[in-house]
Structure 1
């Protein structure tokens, strides 16, 4: 199984000036670098592809969904901008040979309200209309959209695996699947391995994050149960660490990141890789507070 790491671990927003993190990821041993696209104009995409190929790093692409990229917004302009962003990122994923483009495609991060049922259904309908259009482009490009449930403190639309399945199944495209982030999953699901089994072949990407978004293996997640569930469904995608070492002000506010999540980004990257590699690719070993 390929082990990856997000550029978010080191920097936000990622740019051409941040290409040093590619070498860091490779030197640690990562197979995959996940490129977080906050501002596409900051990145020399031709140079990035060349650098990743030179290092032998595979690429996955993830999104950053601010309030102006919300395909379920009550403002038509914002919905159009959100769809345009998703399609731009699909084009980027295709160019970088990423199998997926993932994130909370359905709404803006940090959009949390208690709204009337009629409004909720209208927003869902706007979301579905745009997901259909995005999926059509994904089908043409051969890239899979990976829709990510977020916890209740970051969105009011899709929190659970059941909600994600309902939305994805309604679109009914082979190019719209589900991304599971174990940090969010830990908050919203009663049993993470059971939620993985429920997803089955809908699951195309996993962000393997600890319960506090710190270093994987230092918290209380049932990593061996997660591993066994992934093996049971025949999961063939990547495991990617996505946490935030130096979030922008907007990202920090949306994801509620107010303190360092590890002693350093480099330490988190190195120790997290060691834990995931041993747990998912090297047998029965456990780290930190995991007890046999």
Structure 2
């Protein structure tokens, strides 16, 4: 069965074990199986404390990031690898199975033109190199297509599949996001299906980045598509309730995405579970946090 996760931007802009401990009862109530921890600055993460928290609660950590603006992974892949290296170490250290997100470039960086073959080839070479290094840490590497206003390198599930097939690494997977899909795909069904066997992770993000059910995403269509594919991986509620300063501008987050921040978890998670149930998409039902 699939697992329902929560991006920690729903709680705070930076990972903080004490803050998450304060939310432990809420995580248990909503049967959160996974927490997505952003590694925009891996040095912020206390590895031992975080791993202990995850082991104690039974929560699976997954990690994500985007490459900072000052790094061009095509022109200077060594700089890109130097950025990813500590993130790989932290992700592995806390017990995460993967690192995903815009691992191949910078959120908010566009050329104003269509992606060139040289850009495709250079990006593919970097992803291949990053995947090989991730594998030495026992990690999968996710690549997240984003909308055309945030990148011209990878926008759709079909784009992600093209990279996966060009690279051929068995630890690379596609990380789709309903916020971006709502802009770029012809339908949720087609977007997910276009990934073929490479779909590995899904962000459940409302069209306004707030609580699911308060925007224009057709959640019945999302879960019907996932159920039809037999997807049994991790789907994570991602809301920009709070956002790390390193990417707030690139994501154009300058106003609150929810009138009441508590709504993202308290209303959003039950809303997603209800929509999944209607579609016959089954989540693991047992409690996460134990005794």
TM tier, shorter chain? 0.7 to 0.9
Question: Aligned residue for 1:2?
Answer: 3
CA–CA distance in structure 2, aligned partners of residues 284 and 168 of structure 1? 29
CA–CA distance in structure 1, aligned partners of residues 35 and 100 of structure 2? 13
Which stretch shifts more, 81-90 or 34-43? Answer: 81-90
Q: Give the match's secondary structure for 2:176.
A: strand
What TM-score, normalized by structure 2, do the two folds share? 0.87
Q: Give the match's secondary structure for 1:135.
A: helix
1:222 to partner: Cα distance: 2.2
Question: Aligned residue for 1:240?
Answer: 236
Q: Give the match's secondary structure for 1:255.
A: coil
| 1:197–1:232 Cα contact (<8 Å) kept | no
CA–CA distance in structure 2, aligned partners of residues 106 and 43 of structure 1? 22
CA–CA distance in structure 1, aligned partners of residues 279 and 106 of structure 2? 39
What TM-score, normalized by structure 1, do the two folds share? 0.86
1:121 to partner: Cα distance: 3.4
| 1:16–1:43 Cα contact (<8 Å) kept | no
Question: Aligned residue for 1:125?
Answer: 121
1:91 to partner: Cα distance: 3.0
> 2:34 matched to 1:66?
no
1:270 to partner: Cα distance: 1.6
1:27 to partner: Cα distance: 4.5
Question: Aligned residue for 1:288?
Answer: none
With over 3 angstroms needed to count, the CA separation of the structure-2 counterparts of 1:42 and 1:80, relative to structure 1, is same
Give the alignment partner of residue 171 of structure 2, picking from 152, 171, 175.
175
RCO higher in 1 or 2 (8 Å CA, sep ≥ 6)? Answer: 2
CA–CA distance in structure 1, aligned partners of residues 125 and 279 of structure 2? 45
| 1:69–1:83 Cα contact (<8 Å) kept | no
Structure with the bigger percentage of helix? 1
CA–CA distance in structure 2, aligned partners of residues 247 and 116 of structure 1? 29
| 2:161–2:194 Cα contact (<8 Å) kept | no
With over 3 angstroms needed to count, the CA separation of the structure-2 counterparts of 1:116 and 1:55, relative to structure 1, is closer
CA–CA distance in structure 2, aligned partners of residues 9 and 80 of structure 1? 33
Describe the superposition over 1:126-160 as per-residue Cα deviations: whole angstroms up to 9, x where unpaired. 32222111111233333211100010111121112
> 2:251 matched to 1:251?
no
Matches within 5 A, 1:141-152: 141-152=137-148
CA–CA distance in structure 1, aligned partners of residues 86 and 229 of structure 2? 31
Give the alignment partner of residue 163 of structure 1, picking from 137, 159, 163.
159
With over 3 angstroms needed to count, the CA separation of the structure-2 counterparts of 1:265 and 1:52, relative to structure 1, is farther
Matches within 5 A, 1:27-38: 27-38=29-40
1:208 to partner: Cα distance: 0.5
| 2:40–2:65 Cα contact (<8 Å) kept | yes
> 2:103 matched to 1:101?
no
Segments of 4+ moved more than 6 angstroms: none
| 1:68–1:82 Cα contact (<8 Å) kept | no
| 2:239–2:264 Cα contact (<8 Å) kept | no
With over 3 angstroms needed to count, the CA separation of the structure-2 counterparts of 1:133 and 1:181, relative to structure 1, is same
Give the alignment partner of residue 149 of structure 2, picking from 109, 132, 153.
153
Give the alignment partner of residue 264 of structure 1, picking from 250, 260, 279.
260
Q: CA RMSD for the aligned pairs?
A: 2.2
CA–CA distance in structure 1, aligned partners of residues 145 and 85 of structure 2? 20
Describe the superposition over 1:213-235 as per-residue Cα deviations: whole angstroms up to 9, x where unpaired. 11112222222222122122221
Report the number of matched residues. Answer: 278
